[in-house]
Amino acid sequence: MKLRVNGREHEVAADPKTPLLYVLRNDLGLKGTRFGCGTGHCGACTVLMDGKASQSCDTPLWSAEGKDITTIEGLGSRERPHPLQQAFLDEQAAQCGYCINGIMMSAAALLSQKKTFTREEIAAALDRHLCRCGTHVRILKAIERAARQS
């Protein structure tokens, strides 16, 4: 199967029913997409598919073919971080870092739709994400900061 991930074409030899998450991590070495629950409920595995937030743990590989997939590694780089990544750093919005990559991907999808929104709209966009660190207020501030800067 052919996949377009982070702007690059990849050919992978995997069963079409394989979860996209496994191919991203195991075949393409993109470890930023995390395995959490494996059932699409926690959000740790969130990637963008054609600009929309999607849980890769319950997305079969066949449904990702022909779509533009972006992982946290494709959002920005160490040298040129995406405004969202920089805002998360500036606001110190992560503690353990396990859920943050998925949260950032959902926030990136939100930012691509519009530039101004309420805290309630941000919270709704992040509703599928489970985070136990307690940095929720800083996460909201980081997303608001990124919206102002982009």
Task: Please compute the mean of the pLDDT values over residues 61-80 and round it to a whole number.
Answer: 96
pLDDT in tens, 108-140: 999 999 878 899 999 999 998 988 888 889 999
Give the domain ranges of the chain: 2-75, 83-149
Query: Does residue 63 have a pLDDT over 80?
Result: yes
For the chain, state the CA radius of gyration: 15
Task: Give the dihedral sign, CA 80/85/87/89.
Answer: negative
Answer whether 142's CB lies under 8 Å from 93's CB.
yes
Q: How do beta strands 68-70 and 2-5 pair?
A: parallel
CATH of 2-75, one of 3.10.20.30, 3.40.50.450, 3.40.190.10, 3.40.50.10800: 3.10.20.30
Query: Does residue 150 have a pLDDT over 80?
Result: no
Name residues whose C-beta falls within 8 Å of residue 116's C-beta, 6 or more positions apart in sequence: 147
Residues 83-149, CATH architecture: Orthogonal Bundle (1.10)
Q: What H or E segment, with its residue span, contains residue 8?
A: strand 8-11
- Tokens 């599928």 map to which residue? 128
pTM of the model: 0.94
Q: CB atoms < 10 A from the CB of 100, how many?
A: 25
